[in-house]
Structure 1
Amino acid sequence: MSKSNFIKVIVAGFLITSIVGCGTKNFKKTPLDNYIVENSNEKQFSVILEDMDVDGTFFKTYSHKYRVIKHKEDDTPYEQISDWIEVDKKFFAKHEDNLGMVILEKKGQGKISKVASPPGYGYVGDSRYGEWRTHNGSTFWGFYGRYMFMNQMFGMINRPIYRNDYDTYRGGGYYGSRNYYGPKKGGSSRYGTNSQQTRKEKPNFFRRRASKSGWSSSRSRSGSRSRSTGFGK
């Protein structure tokens, strides 16, 4: 190789390294990214945003708590509740409207979604777990006897999953692309932080949020420190 060509190779390598470095310099894994890696052998799971909190006055700390639905060897779903996990400001702000929703899901086909969806939607339509049933003119999803506990696990006793809403979710291309909060009623969505049902189910969260001034400032203030902790059992 001539001296000039050798220099060109060195320069090209330097440029590639610089470009890759610039592209990854600001990339920071979220707890969800870590969970995907740590549970790569799991065929199916759902991660629900169980709780969130903001602490501090001048330097704020943002935290999440997750409820994780996994499967035993016999395919029976079970849940784990994580410890509080500190997240950065941007990630916290992204999910402020998603309390009680699935924010990470891996389906049995191996498809992964990192956008918000109602709890339980990942199991709807899967004949292993249940079927569509009609009562008084309304068609809704019902789990088989063996999986009846999943109605409570996903809050479906108070919020049944109706066929029309699910068809809107599937037909509207929401999975993996856009957050879906269900139909609106009286100005309130059916799911998420701003839904009436979430306010009933999580009164402690709303009391805590109301008692802390500047909670919503997570959307505008500078970032916080971040640490990574595992999911509790």
Structure 2
Amino acid sequence: MRFFKYLLLLVTVVTISSCSSERKPKFVKSPLDNIITKYIDKDNYSVILSDMDYKEDTDKYFHKYRILIEEKQPKLTTEQLNDSLTRPTDVTIINTDWKEVSPIIFEEYQNDLGMTVLSKKNGKLDKNSSPAGVNNYVGNPRYGEWRTDSSGSSFWAFYGRYRLFSDLFFAPSYGYGYGYGYPRSHWNDYNRNYRNKKSYYGKSNEYGTKSKHNRNTSWASKPQSFKSKVQSKVSKSSSELKSRGYTSRKSYSKTSRSQSRYKSSSFRSRSGGFGK
């Protein structure tokens, strides 16, 4: 009788342990996780998904990132701020090599080319995607100012000293001599309704992978047939991994606030596919 009680207890413990193990998500590590760790002592930075690719010969997916780290702000005169020939010393710019990513990560960011996919502002991380520069630079008087065009529309213009942001960010160009300018209406929409809450692709989904401003990337040079093929392939590979309990920290964090702690999150892909 004692033996059967012991056996029943052992089976119960094993069953509970097994269920607990199944409920815990198995995280797929992303290069973004490494960036968070590497720059843990930095309070303000942005990470842009600057390119992406798939290599058929090795069946592997890749990302490239552009990291902008804000350093100590110098004291500058108005003349120095408007000097477009001087490169800023208070922003460190790092362009990474190609980084291999899991099919889950590639699928999750498939619509985010040219966008900020990770940022840190005053020590607070934001893993939502947004148009490059909108989170830490647009609206920041340290880098530029709001101006009004002849029609009365307000737009953001970087000071001459930060004109290189025009080449680093993938945004609409209004040709005012200071490079790219974000419409104030877009920034207001993002700042009020999306910042630190959810990803923002513009009022008409004009930002991200489909944007024509990504034309100089490796991904943009690929034929649409290739992109469609990759989209189908990565969807299958990602689904297979998720069926085995794998997820990314980003997708898991989206659901863990409203669902049970150990429930593995299901990925809801963004609309629009890979685009051109």
- TM-score, normalized by the shorter chain, greater than 0.5: yes
Partner deviation per Cα, 1:194-231 (whole Å, 9 max, x = no partner):
12332x343x4233354637211244222599xxxxxx
CA contact (8 A) 2:147 2:157 kept: yes
Shift of 1:69: 0.9
Shift of 1:118: 0.5
What's the RMSD between the two structures over aligned residues?
3.1
Shift of 1:177: 2.6
Aligned to 1:41: 41
CA contact (8 A) 1:53 1:209 kept: no
Q: How does 1:97-112 map to 2 (within 5 A)?
A: 97-107=111-121, 109-112=122-125
Q: 1:139 aligns with which of 154, 171, 182?
A: 154
Runs of 4+ in 1 over 3 A off after TM superposition: 13-25, 72-75, 209-213
CA contact (8 A) 2:43 2:124 kept: no
Aligned to 2:255: none
| CA gap 1:169/1:56 in 2 versus in 1, 3 angstroms | same
Partner deviation per Cα, 1:70-122 (whole Å, 9 max, x = no partner):
13444611321111111111110011111101100111x22211111001112
SS in 1 for 2:123: coil
State the AA in 2 paired with 1:60. Answer: D
State the AA in 1 paired with 2:183. Answer: Y
Structure 1: 5+ residue stretches without partners: 1-12, 226-233
Shift of 1:43: 1.6
Q: Aligned partners of 1:115, 1:206: CA distance in 2, in Å? A: 23
Aligned to 1:64: 63
CA contact (8 A) 1:100 1:192 kept: yes
SS in 1 for 2:32: helix
Q: Aligned partners of 1:205, 1:49: CA distance in 2, in Å? A: 11
Q: How does 1:142-221 map to 2 (within 5 A)?
A: 142-156=157-171, 158=173, 159-172=180-193, 174-184=194-204, 189-198=205-214, 200-202=215-217, 204-210=218-224, 212=226, 214-221=229-236
| CA gap 1:166/1:15 in 2 versus in 1, 3 angstroms | farther
Aligned to 2:140: 126
Shift of 1:190: 2.0
Q: Aligned partners of 1:20, 1:205: CA distance in 2, in Å? A: 41
CA contact (8 A) 2:114 2:208 kept: yes
Q: Aligned partners of 2:56, 2:171: CA distance in 1, in Å? A: 35
CA contact (8 A) 1:70 1:78 kept: yes
SS in 2 for 1:170: helix
CA contact (8 A) 1:98 1:193 kept: yes
Q: How does 1:81-120 map to 2 (within 5 A)?
A: 81-107=95-121, 109-120=122-133
| CA gap 1:128/1:29 in 2 versus in 1, 3 angstroms | same
Q: Aligned partners of 1:16, 1:42: CA distance in 2, in Å? A: 42
Q: Aligned partners of 1:132, 1:15: CA distance in 2, in Å? A: 62
Shift of 1:163: 0.8
State the AA in 2 paired with 1:68. Answer: I
Structure 2: 5+ residue stretches without partners: 1-12, 75-89, 174-179, 242-276
Shift of 1:68: 1.0
State the AA in 2 paired with 1:49. Answer: L
Partner deviation per Cα, 1:13-48 (whole Å, 9 max, x = no partner):
999987775555512322112211111111211111
Q: Aligned partners of 1:82, 1:88: CA distance in 2, in Å? A: 17
Aligned pairs, how many? 207
State the AA in 2 paired with 1:216. Answer: Q
TM-score under structure 2 normalisation? 0.65
